[in-house]
Amino acid sequence: MIAELFDRNLRWAAGRARVDPEYFRRLASQQGPDYLWVGCSDSRVPANEIVGLDPGELFVHRNVANLAPPQDANFLSVLQFALEILKVRHIIVCGHYGCGGVRAVLSGQRHGLIDHWLQPVACLCRRDAAELDGILDFDARVNLVCERNVLAQVESLADNPFVRDAWGRGQALSIHGWIYSIQDGLLRDLETSIETVADATGRSSAAPKVMRGRPRRGRAE
Ligand code: CO
């Protein structure tokens, strides 16, 4: 089972080199991604593949329920490196419908350490409890919290000192909130992009009223 992965790696590397002989030499010399991706660890949401980017084009951080926690040394190290060394121009927080982390919170059951990690999601659920209680379908409730969680992470990032410092230095930096559907493979833009300190200031932290996720009709380029 494990040996199979090495075999697959050999085939993959050979295939890449066949299509583009300079591929690995070019990648080895530097990485210069324009994007930082903050996504869920869920194996069905492979960051690069979804957006059709090659290795080297997307700096990736993944954790359960795509959080951007302001006290997590792992996340903050990634964020600082992305902003100060790689100078990415976009941070994409990408959630996904049906997220297991969100389901765990809404199930109301204890799961162990993960309950601590997911506490920010639990706080969101408490904030929006009245509205969530009115949604009878469990999956619909999960999906709404998945969206709200993305928005919360975007807002948290906009307050992050590393992000504030980047804007203060005049760095071009936008933060985007997207959500992905495993059902159809499509990304939805939650239309919550923040591009400047001015955008970030004065935003309401109240819950948005409607589900806004819909497939983005991007330009075919
Ligand atoms: Co998930």
**Residue 117, pLDDT score:** 97
On whether both 45 and 141 belong to a single domain, the answer is yes
Query: What are the percentages of helix, strand and coil residues in the chain, rounded to 5?
Result: 45, 15, 40
pLDDT of residue 220: 44
Catalytic residue check, 126: no
Q: Which of the four pLDDT bands, split at 50, 70 and 90, describes residue 209? A: very low
Q: Does one domain contain both 10 and 101?
A: no
The range of the structural domain enclosing residue 14 comes to: 1-30
Please report the pLDDT score of residue 199 as a whole number: 81
Let me know if residue 220 belongs to a domain: no
User: Does residue 59 sit in the same domain as residue 46?
Assistant: yes
Cα(171) to ligand 1 centroid in Å equals 31
95, pLDDT greater than 70 = yes
210 pLDDT above the threshold of 50? no
Percent of the chain predicted with pLDDT > 70: 91
Average pLDDT over residues 35-60: 94
Greater pLDDT, 189 or 192: 189
19 with 42, same domain?
Answer: no
Q: How far is the CA of 20 from the centre of ligand 1 (A)?
A: 34
CA distances from 118 to 12, 30, 40, 99, 156 (A): 36, 35, 12, 12, 15
Q: Which two tokens stand for residue 172?
A: 């071009």
pLDDT of 204 reads 54
Rounded to the nearest angstrom, the distance between the alpha carbon of 63 and the centre of ligand 1 is 8
The residue ranking higher by pLDDT, 54 or 218, is: 54
Q: Give backbone dihedrals phi and psi of 191, rounded to 5 degrees, phi first.
A: 50, 55
User: Does residue 67 sit in the same domain as residue 105?
Assistant: yes
pLDDT tier at 112 (50, 70, 90 boundaries)? very high
Return the closest-CA partner of residue 55 out of 67, 37, 43, 80.
37
Task: Name the phi and psi angles at 183, rounded to 5.
Answer: -65, -35
| Angle at the Cα of 121 from the Cα atoms of 117 and 127, rounded to 5 degrees | 140
| Residue that wins the pLDDT comparison between 209 and 155 | 155
Total-model pTM: 0.89
Q: Average pLDDT of the chain?
A: 91
Give yes or no: 42 in active site. Answer: yes
Instruction: Give the mean model confidence (pLDDT) for residues 79-96.
Output: 98
| CA quadruple 39, 101, 72, 29: dihedral sign | negative
Centre of ligand 1 to C-alpha 84, Å, is 28
Mean pLDDT score, 15-42: 92
Q: Quick one: 64 and 170 in the same domain?
A: yes
- Calculate what percentage of the chain has a pLDDT beyond 90: 81
Q: What is the CATH number for 200?
A: 3.40.1050.10
- Do 18 and 58 share a domain, yes or no? no
Over residues 182-193, mean pLDDT: 95
